[in-house]
Structure 1
Amino acid sequence: MRTPRTDHIGVRVTPKERAAIAARSARCGMTPSAYVRESALLRGEPPVRVAGESELRTIHVDLKRIGNNLNQAVRALNARGPEPTTMTLLEHAVRKVSEAAERLSGLLSRASEGR
């Protein structure tokens, strides 16, 4: 359970500083408040959160489905040899693995840009 945030710290910034904070927080997929809070609490280390929970859950579900598809295709390949249906399943699974890897690569790139 989350602890409610009830205390407030006021920080004055110039319009240019506010815009820079907004831009950096947007690149990290965070609100300006969360970005400033995490930046301050990490003592100058940039926040590393680059994906929301829902995005990570989607990738996780996709990877579980892909794993199931690969398992089925490999079983069929071992049982019946390389027939067209099995090869189509394998090609589809490999394509999905590649797509998931690209999504994760993009998240990792965004994380390294924030450092």
Structure 2
Amino acid sequence: MSESRVRNKQIKVYVTEREREELRRKARKCGIRVSDLVRDALIYSDDLNIVVIDFKRLHRAWLEVHRQGVNLNQIAHALNSRGAEGYDRRALDRALELQRDATLRMMSALISLRDEARRHHVIIDVEPLDLGDDEG
């Protein structure tokens, strides 16, 4: 690399083959190199509109669903090895209630994500979860 080179810092960006071809097509259309297209679009364009959708709530809900799933797995293992008489029914009911609550929080997080995406004109199709009405 030349000592006199003005741009001497490199940033690597990974893209799919389709994305690479799209960048090449746009650069050819403008009569410039891909690096110039990307630089101009990202640094010098005031028209750039980046939408960031926060997945933190969804991630927390997923972690809780996972934790409760692990709990249910442990309960199922205990029931299979000791039988139903060897397990506390209240503990089982509580674990099932926690799993249901975690699932509802997950659905709420997905709906919030869908609503935030819609505000930015991005459509995410999330069907409501039918948990049924039987509580026993």
Q: Which has the higher helix share?
A: 1
- Larger RCO: 1 or 2 (CA < 8 Å, sep 6+): 1
TM bracket, shorter-chain basis: 0.3 to 0.5
Please tell me whether Structure 1 or Structure 2 has the larger radius of gyration of its CA atoms.
Answer: 2
TM-score by length of 1: 0.47
TM-score by length of 2: 0.41
